[in-house]
């Protein structure tokens, strides 16, 4: 290569995979409970194609109550932490999340809870 003026051509190809998360179950329907009581269910968060550790944050919806104020009856807990880890074989560790609901006022709603990684995905 050093003394030979020949040209060499290298072609590279690849696939870019964007990190994403999926949920099991994909939809929650929390059972009705008496006022002030908490209902809770477990959601498995399944990260895919994360190449480095990332932390999940949660945005919970606020609701307008019939009394004119805003309440946040939802809660989220991560018993094993909120970090997405990458194993040595490149797979990501599943996260466990407990989603709860409790309200001292009558509420019925259909809302989204947003789970966002460090890259705002």
In-domain check, residue 8: no
The reply to whether the predicted model has a pTM over 0.85 is no
In-domain check, residue 62: yes
If one counts the domains in the chain, the total is 1
In-domain check, residue 63: yes
In-domain check, residue 7: no
Q: What angle do CA 38, 28, 22 make, to 5 degrees?
A: 125
Q: Is the separation of the CB atoms in 87 and 52 below 8 Å?
A: no
- What is the predicted pLDDT for the residue at 2? 63
* CATH code for position 47: 2.60.40
Q: Does the pLDDT value for residue 8 go beyond 60?
A: yes
In-domain check, residue 50: yes
Domain hosting residue 107, numbered range: 20-116
48-72 tens-digit pLDDT: 999 999 999 999 999 887 777 888 9
Q: How confident is the model at residue 34 (pLDDT cuts 50, 70, 90)?
A: very high
In-domain check, residue 83: yes
In-domain check, residue 96: yes
In-domain check, residue 13: no
In terms of Cα–Cα distance, which of 82, 81, 85 is closest to 53?
Answer: 85
């Amino acid at each position: 290569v050093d003394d030979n003026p020949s040209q060499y051509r290298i072609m590279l190809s690849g696939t870019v995979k964007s990190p994403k998360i999926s949920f099991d179950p994909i939809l929650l329907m929390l059972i009705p409970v008496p006022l002030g009581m908490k209902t809770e269910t477990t959601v498995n968060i399944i990260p895919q194609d994360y190449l480095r550790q990332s932390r999940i944050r949660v945005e919970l919806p606020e609701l307008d109550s019939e009394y004119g104020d805003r309440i946040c009856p939802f809660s989220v807990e991560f018993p094993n932490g909120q970090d997405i880890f990458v194993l040595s074989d490149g797979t990501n560790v599943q996260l466990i999340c407990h989603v709860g609901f409790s309200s001292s006022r009558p509420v019925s709603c259909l809302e989204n809870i947003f789970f966002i990684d460090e890259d705002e995905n």
